[in-house]
A and B are shown apart, each in its own frame.
Chain A
Amino acid sequence: MSEINMPKKNLLSMQIDPAKFEPASEDEKRQADVMSESTSFFRDGMRKLMKNPLAVGSIIALVLIILLILIAPKIVPYGYEEIIKVAGSKDKTITNLAPFAWSEKEQALIASGTKLFPHIMGTDSLGRDYFIRVIYGTRVSLTVGLFASILVLIIGVLYGSISGYRGGRTDMIMMRIVDIIYSLPDVLIIILLSVVLNQTLNKSNPIVKLLGTNMVAIFIVFGLLYWVGMARLVRGEVLKIKNNEYFLAAKATGASSWHIIKTHVIPNCISVIIITTALQIPSSIFTESFLSFMGMGVQAPMPSLGSLANNARAGLQSYPWQLIFPAMMIVIIVLAFNLLGDGLRDAFDPKLRR
């Protein structure tokens, strides 16, 4: 039946009739275009992260908190260590005010038409504005958490990648050191160090003056002890990367160690590094607030969320909000970082999902 249309049989031809084909229209061409836009690892991860409502909520909460602690000190006319004076004179009734309450002298002033900035969270036992103290406490806690994590990040990544990269005996010795440090009880050593450093540190040193001895102690301990977890993880990643062909190829073509670490090793373990750092921040904040709560954190009058909660214990019965505000702040910050860290883990490292 099809014999009529069939062209002459040619052994080498594909037996295709060109007349049966027609060029695709522009529309059809677009339909066939199934390739999605090209994406990078980072962009793909961010897309997944943005689909996670908890992670997005955490990011929003953190951004709001950061904006708050940056802007509030500019707006609120009280200082964190300033004992509030009303019309230039001391006011005995201004201590331990409830949120949005006024002292007697302030009430008199308001009655005479002066506008005063409200005490959003009341005042503390010395008559300092509590809102601004909580804001500064949050500043301190966040800064400590962030810088301690960066310290952990730098030391851990360097140590772990050197150990994994060199391998052999170097690796063995370096990992034994990690094992030993890992088995030391860190909180006890932080406490010991801050007790000792309080006595021994040179108090005229500008850095010590700025941070206070206890903060320096915390940073020293983070630098000495907390990096081991990160170092272990990074080493494990490096060992995995070393088994790949591209690593061998780079070696074979004579790339320098530094070049290989920079272009192959670090980009490939970046997800582990990001995730661990994101989860390190809340744990640093935890540790700092724990120490401040025990009276071993930042030095008064500089507040920290932990020390605020500690000071609130004295008047717990009468002024419970003095505990609740800093406590809520800690919980919100830690919760946000935890959820963000979990979200990052899900988005950037499906293997790590637990």
Chain B
Amino acid sequence: MTKYLIKRVLLALLSIFLICMITFFLMNAVPGGPFSSEKAVSPQVMAALEARFNLDKPLWQQFVMYMGNILHGDFGISMKTGREIAVTLKSCFSISAKLGGSALIVALFFGVIFGCVAALYRNRVPDRIIVFMTTLFTAMPSFVLATLLLLVFCIQLKWFPVWDASNKSYLLPVIALAAYPTAYITRLTKTAMLDALSQDYIRTARAKGVPMVWVIFKHALRNALIPVITYLGPELAYILTGSLVIENIFTIGGLGQQFVQSINNRDYSMIMGTTIFLAIIMVFCNLLSDILYKVVDPRIKLES
């Protein structure tokens, strides 16, 4: 277990380092510095600006300095607004975290419930409806669903305000974000549940007179949840990248909108900061779900 843990953590650190490196060198490959779009400035001002952002130093030195700063939690200063990136990220992250976290929980909760229902009512009406819905929602991109929801509930029916940061206005974006993961988790849970229900220990439990509800929760569901855990990492990655467009559609001032804005503004330090920040979250969650998976399921060999 320790060996696996060490290996996995090292791999995560390596990929975070790689992401930082890719981001840094890609951003530096862009011709025209961050100030080239501004009105013509005198060479002295240009030199002062470059010295301010350490752009006059050799590239590798810039990289080392940048990495050092990131380790201190300092993502530098936005080249467009002049504000500290870490501060912007923090304020944006609280909104995105609320949105993404709710979507994550909603997807898990409803996914598992629908999956169980579909497995227990196999080939009957509830199962058919659930299968139909999951097939539909796995084929619908989140931005299509989000725009449709916006169109129907905000514009046509006017049931929801467009976006005023109130709890009520979180509902539509959360639905749009959670739809695909919910459908996916439903499918995962259903197959795992069907598999678990056909096991011998379920028959044993039933034979010795354990009530059905108890069998489902205590014996079947616990085993059926294992594949769901492995999906947590990809689910979070999906929600994070999905929120890039969802936040734009609903004009939510979270990380996603910040990211897209900084791309449009060519605010390179902001793009780098946001990418690295998002990437760290994703890698970390992948690591967590992998470890959790191994901890929960004793059948998995740790050596391989």
Binding site for B on A (CB under 8 A): 179-180, 183-185, 187-189, 191-193, 195-196, 199-200, 282, 286, 289-290, 293-296, 306, 309-310, 312-313, 316-317, 320, 323-324, 327, 330-331, 334-335, 338-339, 354
Contact = CB atoms under 8 A, between A and B. Distances in A.
- Residue of B22, B29, B147 with most chain A CB atoms under a 10 A cut-off: B147
Chain A binding surface, main DSSP class:
helix
B159 to A, nearest CB: 15
A179 B286 CA distance: 12
B26 interface: yes
Given A290-B143, A294-B245, A330-B141, A335 B30 contact: no
B241 interface: yes
Nearest to A310: B143
B245 A185 contact: no
B151 A289 contact: no
Contacts of B12: 183
A192 B275 contact: yes
Given A316-B147, A331-B144, A354-B191, A200 B19 contact: no
Contact of A286 (B14, B141, B244, B266): B141
Contacts of A296: 263
Contacts of A310: 143
Contacts of B32: 199
Contacts of A309: 143-144, 147
A179 B11 contact: yes
A296 B264 CA distance: 10
Contact of B263 (A195, A290, A312): A195
B291 interface: no
B139 A334 contact: yes
30 contacts: A180-B14, A183-B11, A184-B15, A184-B279, A185-B241, A187-B244, A188-B279, A191-B263, A192-B26, A195-B30, A195-B271, A196-B29, A199-B32, A200-B29, A282-B139, A289-B141, A290-B141, A293-B143, A293-B245, A294-B245, A294-B248, A309-B143, A309-B147, A316-B147, A316-B155, A330-B144, A331-B136, A334-B141, A335-B139, A338-B135
A167 to B, nearest CB: 15
Counting chain B CB atoms within 10 Å of each CB, which of A185, A200, A330, A335 scores highest? A185
A290 B275 contact: no
A290 B242 CA distance: 9
A320 B151 CA distance: 8
Contacts of B140: 330-331, 334
A345 to B, nearest CB: 13
Contacts of B19: 184-185, 188-189
B150 A316 contact: yes
Given A180-B11, A185-B237, A193 B26 contact: yes
Nearest to B25: A196
B35 to A, nearest CB: 15
Interface residues of B, number: 47
A313 B251 CA distance: 12
User: Which label, helix, strand, loop or mixed, suits the secondary structure of the B interface?
Assistant: helix
Contact of A323 (B15, B151, B237, B264): B151
Contacts of B240: 185
A330 B136 CA distance: 12
A296 B260 CA distance: 10
Contacts of B14: 180
A192 B22 contact: yes
B27 to A, nearest CB: 7
A327 B148 contact: yes
Nearest to B283: A183
Contacts of B241: 185, 187-188, 290
Interface in B151-191: 151, 155, 191
B18 interface: yes
A290 B139 contact: no
Contacts of B136: 331, 335
Interface string B3-41: 000000001101100110011001101111000000000
B138 interface: yes
B198 to A, nearest CB: 14
Contacts of A313: 147, 249
B278 interface: yes
Contacts of B29: 196, 200
Contacts of B286: 183
Contacts of B237: 185, 187
Interface in B270-293: 271, 275, 278-279, 282-283, 286
B31 A200 contact: yes
Contacts of B141: 286, 289-290, 293, 306, 330, 334
B147 A327 contact: yes
A335 B286 CA distance: 28
B144 to A, nearest CB: 4
A173 to B, nearest CB: 14
A163 to B, nearest CB: 16
A158 B104 CA distance: 37
Contacts of A339: 135
Contacts of B266: 195
Contact of A180 (B18, B31, B260, B282): B18
A333 B123 CA distance: 26
A312 B150 CA distance: 13
Contacts of B135: 335, 338-339
Contacts of B259: 191
Given A185-B279, A309-B144, 12 more contacts: A183-B12, A185-B19, A191-B263, A192-B22, A199-B31, A293-B141, A306-B143, A327-B144, A327-B148, A330-B140, A331-B140, A335-B136
